[in-house]
Structure 1
Amino acid sequence: MIESGESLAELLTHVWHILPFALLFALPVAVIGGLVLFWLRRGSLASTLTVLVLIPVVATLVGVLGVSGFMFTPALTTMLVVCLLVAAVTVPAAIVLGRAIARRSVWEREARDRERAAEASRRELVAWISHDLRSPLAGIRAMAEALADGVVAEPSDVAGYANRISGETARLSAMVDDLFELSRITAGALQLTLSAVPLHEVVSDAVAAQAPLAQQKRVRVLATAQTWPVVAGSDPELARVVRNLVSNAIRHTPPDGTVAVQLGIDGVDALLAVDDACGGIPEDEIGRVFDVAFRGTQARTPEPSGGTTGGGLGLAIAKGLVEAHRGRIGVRNHGQGCRFEVRLPLAAR
C-alpha cells in the first residue's frame, strides 16, 4: 500500500511538472483558433463548426508533442494515431452537421420573413378594408336616418336616396365577395373544374359587364384579337380575372381615354394584354402592384370625387386565379400607361 501511494504521488508530481509545458504549447493554438473563429464570424456555419472541432484536436496534438520533446516513442505514436482518427471522424461530421444547421437556419429565417410579411400584409389589409367599409356604411346610415326621420319627403329625393343606398350596398357586397374569394385562394381551398374555355366569350362578357363603369368614366374599351385562343381553365374564374383587369384599367384611365384588350397566341400560351392610360406606375411601386390591399396612385389619374376605388384586392385575386390555372401574370409600363399581361396554357387539341 505504501509503494502504491508513493507511485501515485510520483505520478501526480510528474503531471504537475509537465502541466505548465502542456499549457504553454496548447494555449497559442487556442488563441489562434479563437482569432480564426472571429474572422469566420460572418462565414458559413460549417466552417465555424469545423474550426471548433479542430481546435481541441490540434491543441492536444501540439501539447503532447511539446511535452514529449518531439521524441516519437510508441506511446506518443499511439496518441498521435488516436488524435488523427478522432479528427478524421469529427471533422466530416462537423461539416455535415454545420451544413444541416445552416440550411435549417436559412429556412427558419425565410419562414420568419414570410410570416412577418404576411402579418404586415394582414395589418395593411385590415386597415384598408376598415377604411373602405366605414365610408359606405356611414353613407347608408346617414341616408337611412334621413328617410326614417322624414327629412327627405319628395318622391324624387326618396328615389335618389334609395338608389344611392342600393349602390353603396352593391359596393359592400362586392368587397365581401372579394374577401371571400381571396380567402379561398390564400387558404388553398380553391378547386377548379378545368375545361376548354374560348377566351373570346370570356372577354366579350367581361367588357359588356364593365360597360356601365366605362360610360360613367367616359372611357372607351376596345377588344381586338389576332386569333381567338382556347385555354384550359375554369370559365367563372377566368371571367373574374378579365373583369378585374378591365375594371382596374377603366378606373385608372382618365376621361376620354382608351382601354385596349388584346388577345393572341405566344408559343404554347394564350396571351391576354390589357392596356390603360394611367400615366404609368412608379418603378418603386410596380413590384407591389399585386400585393393585397396595395393601391399606389402617385403617377395615376386620381379618382373623381365620390368615385369607387375598390378594396385593393382585384389584382391580388387576379394573380391568385391566374397562378391557380398554372399561368403567369405581369405588369410593365407601356405607352401612356401600363400593360397587364396574362399567359395561360392553351387547351389540348
Structure 2
Amino acid sequence: MIEPGESWQAMLAHVWHILPLALAFALPVALVGGLLLYWLRRGSLATTLTVLVLIPVLATLAGVLGISGFMFTPALTTMLLVCLLVALVTVPAAIVFGRAIARHSVWEREARERERAAEAARRDLVAWISHDLRSPLAGIRAMAEALADGIVVEKDEVTDYAARISGETSRLSGMVNDLFELSRITAGALRLTMSAVPLQDVISEALAAQTIVANQKKVQVLADADVWPVVTGSDPELTRIVRNLVSNAIRHTPPDGTVAIRVGIDGSEALLAVDDSCGGIPEDEIERVFEVAFRGTQARTPDHSGTTGGGLGLAIAKGLVEAHRGQIDVRNHGDGCRFEVRLPLATS
C-alpha cells in the first residue's frame, strides 16, 4: 500500500514530468494565436474576440493531445468533448459581445467626432458673427459721431445718415434674431403649432418680404406650380424656411439673373424647389452648405447688395425643415444650384 506522502510525491513528480511536454505543444499554438491577433488588430472586434477565445481552448487541446501521445483513451475523449463544448459556448458569446462592443465603440467614436465638429462649428460661428457684428457697429458708431460732432449738418446728409444707421440697425437685429432662432433649434427648445397650411400663402408671404432686395439686385423671382399643396406645419416657421432659401438664392444670383420657385406633389409629400443662377457649388463644398456660418462666397457669385447675413440662413432652414419631419437637399442644377424641400402633406 502506498503511503499518502509517497502518493503526493509521485503525483508531483509526474506533473513535473509532463509539464514541459504540455508546454511544448501549447506554446506554439499560443504564439500563432498572438501573431494572428496582431494581424487582425485593425479588423473587426467580433473577429478579434473570437480568436482570443479560441486561443486558450486550442492551446489546452494541443497540450492534452501532446501529453497523451495522441492515444485516444476514454479520458482523452472526455477531455476533447469538454473542449468542444467550451468552444461551442464561448465562441458564439464572443461574436455576440464583440459585435455589441464594436457598435458601442463606433457610437462613441461618432459621438466624439460630432462633438468635435460641433465645437469647430461653434468656433467658426463666433468668428463669423464677431466679424459681421463689428462691421455694422463700426459704421453706426462713425455715423453717430459725425452727427454728434456737427460734421454732417446738411438736411439731406443728416437724413441719409439716419437712414443708413436705421439700415445697419435692422441688419444687426436680423443677425440677433437668426442667432436666437438657431439656439432654439440646436437646444431642442423649438415648439411648433402644427396645422394645415396652404403652401401658396407661405410662398406669397415670403416673396413679398424679398421683393425689395430682388429689385435692388435686378433679380427676377418666378413661382410656378402644377398644383398648390397643403402641408402640415407651422405657418411662421414655414415662411421662414422659404424666405431663407429665396434670400440665399437672390444673394448668390448675379444681376439680371432669375430665381425660380417650383412647387408640386410627389407621393405623400409636397415638393418645393428653389433654383438660382449662382454658377454652381464646388463638389468639395456642396456637403457643407448647411453648416453654421458657411458661405462659400469665394466659389460663388460675390454679393454686392449689402444683404449678406451671418451665414445662418441655410442652417436655420435645415433645422426648421427637420423639425417639420421633412427633408432638405441641395445639388447643382443647370447654371446654378437647386435647394429641394420635401414636407408631409396635410391629411384630410
- TM range, smaller chain: over 0.9
Go from structure 1 to structure 2 and tell me whether the alpha carbon gap of 1:73 and 1:261 turns closer, same or farther (over 3 Å shift): closer
Q: Does 1:65 align with 2:83?
A: no
- Give the gaps of 5 or more residues in structure 1: none
SS state at 2:261 partner: strand
1:328 corresponds in structure 2 to: 327
Between 3-12 and 223-232, report the one with greater CA deviation: 3-12
Quick one: distance in 2 between partners of 1:69 and 1:227?
Answer: 86
1:192-271 to 2 correspondences below 5 Å: 192-271=192-271
Given that residues 254 and 301 in structure 1 are in contact (C-alpha distance below 8 angstroms), is that contact kept between their aligned partners in structure 2? Answer: yes
SS state at 2:294 partner: coil
1:14-93 to 2 correspondences below 5 Å: 14-93=14-93
Given that residues 331 and 341 in structure 1 are in contact (C-alpha distance below 8 angstroms), is that contact kept between their aligned partners in structure 2? Answer: yes
* 1:100-123 superposed Cα distances (whole Å, 9 cap, x missing partner): 111111111111111111111111
Quick one: distance in 1 between partners of 2:73 and 2:307?
Answer: 91
- Give the gaps of 5 or more residues in structure 2: none
Residue 171 of structure 1: CA displacement?
0.6
Quick one: distance in 1 between partners of 2:174 and 2:133?
Answer: 11
1:318 corresponds in structure 2 to: 317
Counterpart residue type for residue 228 of structure 1? W
Quick one: distance in 2 between partners of 1:170 and 1:12?
Answer: 93
Given that residues 278 and 299 in structure 1 are in contact (C-alpha distance below 8 angstroms), is that contact kept between their aligned partners in structure 2? Answer: no
SS state at 2:8 partner: helix
**TM-score, normalised with respect to structure 2:** 0.93
Quick one: distance in 2 between partners of 1:338 and 1:83?
Answer: 65
Residue 229 of structure 1: CA displacement?
1.9
SS state at 1:210 partner: helix
Quick one: distance in 1 between partners of 2:185 and 2:264?
Answer: 27
Counterpart residue type for residue 329 of structure 2? G
SS state at 1:191 partner: coil
Between 169-178 and 217-226, report the one with greater CA deviation: 217-226
Go from structure 1 to structure 2 and tell me whether the alpha carbon gap of 1:42 and 1:143 turns closer, same or farther (over 3 Å shift): same
Between 97-106 and 330-339, report the one with greater CA deviation: 330-339
Residue 331 of structure 1: CA displacement?
1.8
Counterpart residue type for residue 347 of structure 1? A
Quick one: distance in 1 between partners of 2:272 and 2:47?
Answer: 50
* 1:71-102 superposed Cα distances (whole Å, 9 cap, x missing partner): 33444344333333322322222222211111
Quick one: distance in 2 between partners of 1:264 and 1:216?
Answer: 29
Quick one: distance in 2 between partners of 1:13 and 1:137?
Answer: 93
Go from structure 1 to structure 2 and tell me whether the alpha carbon gap of 1:191 and 1:23 turns closer, same or farther (over 3 Å shift): same
Go from structure 1 to structure 2 and tell me whether the alpha carbon gap of 1:77 and 1:262 turns closer, same or farther (over 3 Å shift): closer
1:109 corresponds in structure 2 to: 109
Between 207-216 and 142-151, report the one with greater CA deviation: 142-151
Given that residues 282 and 298 in structure 1 are in contact (C-alpha distance below 8 angstroms), is that contact kept between their aligned partners in structure 2? Answer: no
Go from structure 1 to structure 2 and tell me whether the alpha carbon gap of 1:13 and 1:319 turns closer, same or farther (over 3 Å shift): same
Quick one: distance in 1 between partners of 2:25 and 2:301?
Answer: 76
Q: Does 1:291 align with 2:291?
A: yes
Residue 152 of structure 1: CA displacement?
2.1
Q: Does 1:341 align with 2:348?
A: no
Residue 163 of structure 1: CA displacement?
1.3
1:160 corresponds in structure 2 to: 160
Residue 70 of structure 1: CA displacement?
2.2
SS state at 1:294 partner: coil
* 1:154-193 superposed Cα distances (whole Å, 9 cap, x missing partner): 2222222211111111111101111111111112221211
Quick one: distance in 1 between partners of 2:227 and 2:80?
Answer: 79
SS state at 1:331 partner: strand
Residue 224 of structure 1: CA displacement?
2.5
Counterpart residue type for residue 325 of structure 1? H
Post-superposition, which runs of at least 4 consecutive aligned residues in structure 1 deviate over 4 A? none
Given that residues 260 and 274 in structure 1 are in contact (C-alpha distance below 8 angstroms), is that contact kept between their aligned partners in structure 2? Answer: yes
Go from structure 1 to structure 2 and tell me whether the alpha carbon gap of 1:185 and 1:13 turns closer, same or farther (over 3 Å shift): same
Counterpart residue type for residue 347 of structure 2? A
Q: How many residues align?
A: 347
* 1:249-277 superposed Cα distances (whole Å, 9 cap, x missing partner): 11111112222222222332222222221
Quick one: distance in 1 between partners of 2:263 and 2:47?
Answer: 55
Residue 54 of structure 1: CA displacement?
1.4
Residue 310 of structure 1: CA displacement?
0.6
Counterpart residue type for residue 166 of structure 1? S
Given that residues 45 and 101 in structure 1 are in contact (C-alpha distance below 8 angstroms), is that contact kept between their aligned partners in structure 2? Answer: yes
Residue 21 of structure 1: CA displacement?
1.1
Residue 146 of structure 1: CA displacement?
2.1
2:100 corresponds in structure 1 to: 100
Go from structure 1 to structure 2 and tell me whether the alpha carbon gap of 1:264 and 1:79 turns closer, same or farther (over 3 Å shift): closer
Quick one: distance in 2 between partners of 1:272 and 1:81?
Answer: 67
